[in-house]
Amino acid sequence: MTMVNAPTVDAKQTGRSQRPGGRIKVHTGPARAAEASCACPLIRSRDFCLFYGSAVGVRDITIDVYPCSVTAIIGPSGCGKSTFLRSINRMNDLVPGARATGRLEVNGQDVYDKRVNLPNLRQQVGMVFQKPNPFPKSLYDNIAFGPRLQGVRKRSRLDEAVERSLRDAALWGEVKDDLRKSALALSGGQQQRLCIARALATRPKVLLMDEPCSALDPIATGRIEELIAKLKEQYTIVIVTHNMQQAARVSDRTAFMCLGELIEYGLTRDVFTNPKAKQTEDYITGRFG
Amino acid sequence: MRRFLRAAFDKCFTLTAGTSVLLMAAALVIILGPILYRGLGAVCFRATVEWRKLQFYEPLFARGDRQQIDRQVERTEAARAGVYDIMDRFSALLEAEPQIDTVRRLYRQFKTQLRNRQEAGRLTGRQRRLLTRQGRELRDALTEAYEAVDTRVADQRLATVLASDQKEALSDTVLRAYFDLAAQRRGLVGKVSLPWLRANYPNVSDTSDLKAEVERVLKQLRLEVQRQVADGKTTAGEAERMERAAGQVGRALRAAFESLDLDQSLPHLAAVERLRADNPLEASADLKPLAAGLYDMAPAYRRFLEGHDLARVRSRYLPAYLDVKNRIAVMFGPRPGARPEAALAEFSYGTTRWDQARQRLDDLVYETRWQALADNKVRQAVRTPRAETFRGTELAKVFPLLQRDFEKMMAPEFTIYWRYFTDDCTPGHLFGGVGPEIVGTLLLTVLAMVLALPIGVVTAAYLVETAGDNVFVRVVRTCINTLAGVPSIVFGLFGLAFFILWVPANMPWLGMRPESNILAGALTLSVLVLPIVIRASEEAIRSVPATYKEASLSLGAGGLRTFLTVTLSAALPGILTGVILSMSRAAGETAPILFTAAVAWRKGMPESLARGGTRALSYSSYDMAVSDRVAMDAPHNQYGIVMALIVLVLVLNIAAILVRSRVSRRLRGQ
C-alpha cells in the first residue's frame, strides 16, 4: 500500500469535508521505499505498561518501530509520550518507584530483562533531550565522552570519532577550528546539534529524541529537521513532539497517544489525512490538545 | 498614597541594607585595622644598632654586613663613652664593691706571683713572707679607705698607703697598681670633702677657721650697727635688738660648726633658719648684705656636711643611681668589654627598636612620683625630671647629654624585617619572628583539609545520590548537623581522649604515641571541619542540574563514572566554598589543638608528623597575650603574630577564591 511519488493529498480527494484545521502537508520522498523492504521492526513493544508507584504512566502500548525510519509520537501534554520514549532506553529507572510490565524489545532483546547490560543498551539507544545539555567541558571532551566509555584511548581514533560525529550532526564546518572551546559557549541550536553529535558518537542503532526543538528558534528548528532527514538514512529515529506540523514534516510513521494509551499508529500521511480514531481527528484538527 | 508608601518603603529598605553593609565593613576595618597597623610595626620599624648587632651576633639569625656593623658599633660607642664617663666618675665614691674586688684580686695575683718567683729561685722564703705581710697591710689600708663612710678617715688611710716606704720594694710586682688606685681615690675623696670650703673660703682648711669667720662677720656687723646709731639712722632700742639677733645667729652657727656630724649640727642650723624668718637685721639696706652672708652660711654648711658624710651620700644617691644605671644598661646593653648578666639574648643587647628606646629614654629622664595634692588624700602622678634628684652632682650632666645625642648613640634606621615570617624566635618570643608558627599552622590546616575533604565529599555524595529516605539516613543527617554546632573545646578534649590517649594504648600497631603530635591535631581539626565540608558539598552536588546526570547516563556511563566525571566537576565551585570556609576555621581554631598538637615553646619543628608537638599561630597568640614579659618588652610581637594569622588566613582564602573563580568560569563556558 505504498504510494510512491504520490502528489500532495488533498482533503477533497479523500472525500472528507473541509476541516477547519486547514491543510496539513504530508511529506513524501524516495526514502519511503526503504520501509517497505524492512519488514522486521527494530523496536517492538507488546502491551507495555509503566507505573510510577501506583499511578499509571503508560498502558498497553503495542508498537513497532522500523529501522532507518523516523517515527513520531504525538499527543497532548501529559499523555505519556516522553514516558514511553524514556522507557526504551530505561531512563525511567532514575525515577524511584518506576515499574514496568509487558515486553519491550530492542533489536530482538527484551530491554527489561534482568540480565541486560544497561550501559551497553544505552550506547545502542542514544537519547537527545528537550533542553540542550552539553557537559561543561570542551566540545571535544563532550563528544569523546561516549567513545571513551567504550574504551577508546588512542588519540587518533578519538579524533576520528569526533570528526565523524560532528559531520553527521552537520556541525563540523562551524566548529572545526576550535574544538577546545567550551561547549557552553555555543548557541542554543548549535548546542542541540552538539548533543546529537554526542549521542551519535557511540554509533547507536536508535536515536531517541524528546522534543528536541522545543527550546530552539525556528531557524535552528529547521536545521535540526534537515539533520533528522539526513540521519534517517543511517539511524532509526523516534521523535516525540508536541508540534504536529513538525511530525508531519519529518516522520514516516506517527503514533498518537492520549492519557497513557496508544490511540493510533500508522503511516504519517494516513494518520494525518485519514485518522481512524475520533480522538486522533479531534487532536489533529485542534479541537483539544 | 499606597504607591507612595511602597516607594518610600523600598527606598528605606535599600538604604538600610546599604547602611548595614557599610557598618559591617566599618566594623571589620575598626577591628582589623588597628591590629594590622600595630602588627605591621613588627615588620616595619626603625631599628637601632642593637638590633643589627642582635641579627649578626645571635647564632639564631647570623646575618648582616660585618663591616657596616662594626663601623656603626664604633660610632655609637664613641657617642656613649661620654655617658659612661660621667657615670664612672659619679659612681666611684658610691660603689665600693667593684674597687674592693679589684684590690683583693690584685692581692691574690701578688701572692701567686711571689710563689712563682720563689719556685723559680729568685726569692727566699723569708723575703716572701716579709713582702706578703707588707702587701697585706697595704691591702687592708686600701680596703678600709674604700669602705670608710667618713671622708676624713678615707683620706687618712689613703695617705698612709701613699706614704708607704714599700713603694720601691713592690714596684716590680702587681701591687704597684695599689699606689695608682690610692692616688686616684684620694683625688676623688678630696673633691667631695672640700669643694665648698675651697670655693668660698680659700684660706680655710678646717672648721675652726669657720668659727673665726663667723666672729669676723659679727664684729663687722656690730661696727656697722654702732655707726648707724651714731648717724642716727636707727634708735638705740633697735640697735640693741639687732645686736641680740646677730649674737643669737652667731651662737647657733658656732654650735653647728662644733661638729661635723649632720645629726648634731642640724638643730642649730634649723635655729638659724628660724631666726632668719623674723629678721630685724633686714631693716637697714647696709646691714642686709652682711646679714645675708651670715645667714647663708647655714644652708651651705649643711650641704657641705651632707656631701662630707659618705654614708649619707650613699644612702641618698645609691638607690637612685642604681636605677639610672639599670635603665641605661637596658637601653645600651652591657658595656663594651663587659659580660652580660646571663647569657640570654635579652641581656646581651640593648633596646632594639627606636620607639621603645625613646620611650625608655623618656622614662629615664622623667620620673613619675605620686604626690598628694594640697590637702587631699588623693595622690596624683607627677612627672619630675630625674636630674632634680642628682642636682649639684656629676650625674646631673648625663641627662641633657642623653637627650641631645640619643640618636647618635642608637643609630636608628628604617628597616623592613621581611624575615619576620620565616625566622625562629628567641625563648619567650622577645626577639625574632614567627616562622615555625606559620609552618605549624600551615601543616595542621593542610593536613586537616587533606583528611576531611575526601571523606566529606564521599559522604555528601552518598547522602545526595545513593541514600534513600529512611530512618538511618535521617539519623546520620541529624548527627552531622549537630556536629556542626559542637563547641571546639569539646573537639579538643575528644582529640586528647581518643587520638592521644586511647589509640596509642589500644592500637599500638598504628605507631602513635601518647604525646602531642601534629597528626592528632590534624585529625581533630579534620573532625571539626567535616560537617562544614559535608554541608557545602551536599549543597553543591544537589545543585548540579539533573540534566547533566541524565545526559551522562543516557550515553552509557555507570553511576560512579557519571559522578566522578560529570557531577563532581560541576559541583567543584560549591565544594571549594566549603574548602574556603573550613580552611579559615581550621587555621584559626585554638581549642582543638590545645591538647593535641600545640606547644608554647620548642626549638624548630618536630622530627615527624607523629612525634612531637608544634608551635601554632593561634596558640602562640594566646600564649603571648597572657605573657607579662612580652607585653612589657615586646608588645609589637603580640600584634605581629595576630597580624601573621590574619594575613595567612587571608592569603589562603584569596588563593582558594581565585581557584574557585577559575573553575567557575570554565564551567560557565568562558
DSSP secondary structure, A220-248, as one string: HHHHHHHHHHHHTTTSEEEEE-S-HHHHH
CA distance A248 to chain B (A): 27
Contact B182, B161 (CB under 8 A): yes
pLDDT digits (tens, 9 = 90+) for A66-75: 999 999 999 9
- Residue B556 and residue A133: Cβ atoms within 8 Å? no
> Can you tell me the mean pLDDT for A40-56?
90
User: pLDDT at position A22, please?
Assistant: 47
Lowest mean pLDDT among A146-160, B290-304, B429-443, B629-643: B290-304
Contact A263, A257 (CB under 8 A): yes
User: pLDDT at position A18, please?
Assistant: 44
Chain B residues closer than 8 Å to A120 by CB: 556
Non-local CB neighbours of B223 within 8 Å, separated by 6+ positions = none
Chain B interface mutation, best of A111, A149, A202, A208, highest count of B Cβ atoms under 10 Å: A149
Which residues are bridge partners to B476 per DSSP? none
- Residue B670 and residue A182: Cβ atoms within 8 Å? yes
* Spatial CA neighbour of B158 closest among B132, B183, B176, B180: B183
Chain B residues closer than 8 Å to A131 by CB: 547
Q: Give the DSSP letter string of B415-454.
A: EE-GGGGT--B-TTSSSB--HHHHHHHHHHHHHHHHHHHH
Chain B interface mutation, best of A111, A116, A120, A145, highest count of B Cβ atoms under 10 Å: A145
Q: What is the DSSP letter of B98?
A: H
Q: Give the DSSP letter string of B119-182.
A: HHTSS-HHHHHHHHHHHHHHHHHHHHHHH-SBHHHHHHHHHHHHT-TTTTTTTTSTTHHHHHHH
- AA identity, residue A282: D
d(Cα B320, Cα B386) in Å, to the nearest integer? 9
Contact B435, B640 (CB under 8 A): no
Which residues are bridge partners to A59 per DSSP? A261
d(Cα B121, Cα B517) in Å, to the nearest integer? 69
Q: How far is Cα of residue A92 from the mean position of the Cα atoms in its chain?
A: 16
d(Cα B313, Cα B154) in Å, to the nearest integer? 14
Q: What is the CA radius of gyration of chain B?
A: 41
Long-range CB contacts (< 8 A, 24+ apart) of B327-333?
A: B327/B360, B327/B363, B327/B364, B328/B83, B328/B87, B328/B364, B330/B360, B331/B357, B331/B360, B331/B361, B331/B364, B331/B410, B332/B50, B332/B80, B332/B83, B332/B409, B333/B50, B333/B53
User: pLDDT at position A3, please?
Assistant: 40
The size of the A-B interface in CB pairs under 8 A is 73
For chain B, give the mean pLDDT.
Answer: 85
Q: What is the DSSP letter of B502?
A: I
Neighbouring CB atoms inside 10 A of B172's CB total 10
d(Cα B572, Cα B544) in Å, to the nearest integer? 10
- AA identity, residue B183: A
Q: What is the DSSP letter of B462?
A: I
pLDDT digits (tens, 9 = 90+) for B469-482: 889 999 999 999 99
The span from the first CA to the last CA of chain A, in angstroms, equals: 30
Tell whether A258 lies on the interface with B, counting CB pairs under 8 A: no
User: pLDDT at position A161, please?
Assistant: 93
* Spatial CA neighbour of A46 closest among A239, A262, A280, A276: A262
Non-local CB neighbours of B180 within 8 Å, separated by 6+ positions = none
Chain B interface mutation, best of A122, A131, A178, A194, highest count of B Cβ atoms under 10 Å: A122
Q: Is the pLDDT of residue B79 over 50?
A: yes
Q: Is B1 exposed, middle or buried (0-12, 13-18, 19+ CB in 10 A)?
A: exposed
**φ/ψ bin of B508: left (φ > 0), alpha (ψ from -120 to 50), beta (otherwise):** alpha
pLDDT digits (tens, 9 = 90+) for B405-448: 999 999 999 999 999 999 998 888 889 899 999 999 999 999 99
Q: Which chain B residue is nearest to residue A121, measuring alpha carbons?
A: B556
pLDDT digits (tens, 9 = 90+) for B482-536: 999 999 999 999 999 999 999 999 988 888 888 888 999 999 999 999 999 999 9
Q: Measure Cα distances from B187 to B41, B174, B181, B192, B199 in Å.
A: 50, 22, 10, 9, 16
Chain B residues closer than 8 Å to A145 by CB: 552, 555, 557, 565
Q: What is the DSSP letter of B509?
A: G
Q: Which chain B residue is nearest to residue A136, measuring alpha carbons?
A: B667
Tell whether B554 lies on the interface with A, counting CB pairs under 8 A: yes
> Can you tell me the mean pLDDT for A155-175?
92
> B538 is written with which cell numbers?
551536599
Tell whether A90 lies on the interface with B, counting CB pairs under 8 A: no
Tell whether B556 lies on the interface with A, counting CB pairs under 8 A: yes
Which residues are bridge partners to A266 per DSSP? A254
Contact A69, A252 (CB under 8 A): yes
CA distance A251 to chain B (A): 23
Tell whether A184 lies on the interface with B, counting CB pairs under 8 A: yes
3-state SS assignment for residue A99 = strand
Contact B465, B563 (CB under 8 A): yes
User: pLDDT at position B178, please?
Assistant: 80
Tell whether A269 lies on the interface with B, counting CB pairs under 8 A: no
For chain A, give the mean pLDDT.
Answer: 85
By DSSP bridging, strand A236-240 and strand A206-210 are: parallel
Chain B residues closer than 8 Å to A97 by CB: none
Lowest mean pLDDT among B52-61, B383-392, B458-467: B383-392
- Residue B551 and residue A126: Cβ atoms within 8 Å? no
- Residue B547 and residue A129: Cβ atoms within 8 Å? yes
Q: With DSSP H G I counted as helix, E B as strand and the rest as coil, what are the percentages for chain B, rounded to 5? A: 75, 5, 20
Tell whether A205 lies on the interface with B, counting CB pairs under 8 A: no
CA distance A136 to chain B (A): 5
- Residue B556 and residue A123: Cβ atoms within 8 Å? yes
- Residue A126 and residue B565: Cβ atoms within 8 Å? no
- AA identity, residue B102: T
Q: Is the pLDDT of residue B456 over 80?
A: yes
> Can you tell me the mean pLDDT for A228-256?
92
d(Cα B319, Cα B95) in Å, to the nearest integer? 11
d(Cα B152, Cα B193) in Å, to the nearest integer? 8
- Residue A195 and residue B551: Cβ atoms within 8 Å? yes
Option in A122, A137, A185 nearest B555 (CB): A122
> Can you tell me the mean pLDDT for B557-575?
91
Q: Is the pLDDT of residue B207 over 70?
A: no
Tell whether B603 lies on the interface with A, counting CB pairs under 8 A: no
Percent of chain A with pLDDT over 90: 58
> B278 is written with which cell numbers?
623674723
Tell whether A245 lies on the interface with B, counting CB pairs under 8 A: no
User: pLDDT at position B72, please?
Assistant: 92
Q: Is the pLDDT of residue A12 over 50?
A: no
Non-local CB neighbours of B524 within 8 Å, separated by 6+ positions = B491, B492, B494, B495, B499, B592, B593, B596, B597
What confidence category does residue B70 fall into, taking pLDDT thresholds of 50, 70 and 90? very high
What confidence category does residue B76 fall into, taking pLDDT thresholds of 50, 70 and 90? very high
Angle at B108 between CA B103 and CA B114, to 5 degrees: 125
- Residue B557 and residue A149: Cβ atoms within 8 Å? yes
d(Cα A65, Cα B80) in Å, to the nearest integer? 107
Chain B residues closer than 8 Å to A184 by CB: 667-669
Residue that is written with C-alpha cell 601534629 in the block: B518
- AA identity, residue B275: L
CA distance A268 to chain B (A): 28
Option in B551, B558, B669 nearest A184 (CB): B669
- Residue A149 and residue B561: Cβ atoms within 8 Å? yes
3-state SS assignment for residue B184 = helix
Q: What is the DSSP letter of B610?
A: T
Q: What is the largest CA-CA distance in chain B?
A: 143
- Residue A136 and residue B669: Cβ atoms within 8 Å? yes
pLDDT digits (tens, 9 = 90+) for B158-184: 888 888 777 777 777 777 778 887 877
- Residue A122 and residue B556: Cβ atoms within 8 Å? yes
CA distance A46 to chain B (A): 23
> Any idea how long chain B is?
670
3-state SS assignment for residue B413 = strand
Which residues are bridge partners to A110 per DSSP? A105
Chain B residues closer than 8 Å to A136 by CB: 548, 569-570, 666-669
Q: How many CA atoms lie within 13 A of A179 on its CB side?
A: 16
Q: Measure Cα distances from A33 to A2, A68, A235 in Å.
A: 8, 11, 15
- Residue A145 and residue B557: Cβ atoms within 8 Å? yes
d(Cα B511, Cα B503) in Å, to the nearest integer? 9
Contact B387, B331 (CB under 8 A): no
Tell whether B552 lies on the interface with A, counting CB pairs under 8 A: yes
* Spatial CA neighbour of B193 closest among B152, B156, B252, B146: B152
Tell whether A89 lies on the interface with B, counting CB pairs under 8 A: yes
What confidence category does residue B64 fall into, taking pLDDT thresholds of 50, 70 and 90? confident
B positions 488-547 inside 8 Å of A (CB): 545, 547
Contact A104, A110 (CB under 8 A): yes
- AA identity, residue B176: R
3-state SS assignment for residue A75 = coil
Chain B residues closer than 8 Å to A129 by CB: 547, 550-551, 554
> Can you tell me the mean pLDDT for B99-123?
86
Chain A residues closer than 8 Å to B667 by CB: 136, 184
> Can you tell me the mean pLDDT for B568-583?
93
> Any idea how long chain A is?
289
3-state SS assignment for residue B309 = strand
CA distance B667 to chain A (A): 5
The span from the first CA to the last CA of chain B, in angstroms, equals: 48
User: pLDDT at position B332, please?
Assistant: 92
d(Cα B30, Cα B38) in Å, to the nearest integer? 13
> B117 is written with which cell numbers?
718567683
Q: What is the CA radius of gyration of chain A?
A: 19
CA distance A75 to chain B (A): 24
User: pLDDT at position B308, please?
Assistant: 59
Neighbouring CB atoms inside 10 A of A161's CB total 21
Chain A interface mutation, best of B466, B544, B555, B564, highest count of A Cβ atoms under 10 Å: B555
- Residue B554 and residue A146: Cβ atoms within 8 Å? no
By DSSP bridging, strand A253-258 and strand A70-74 are: parallel
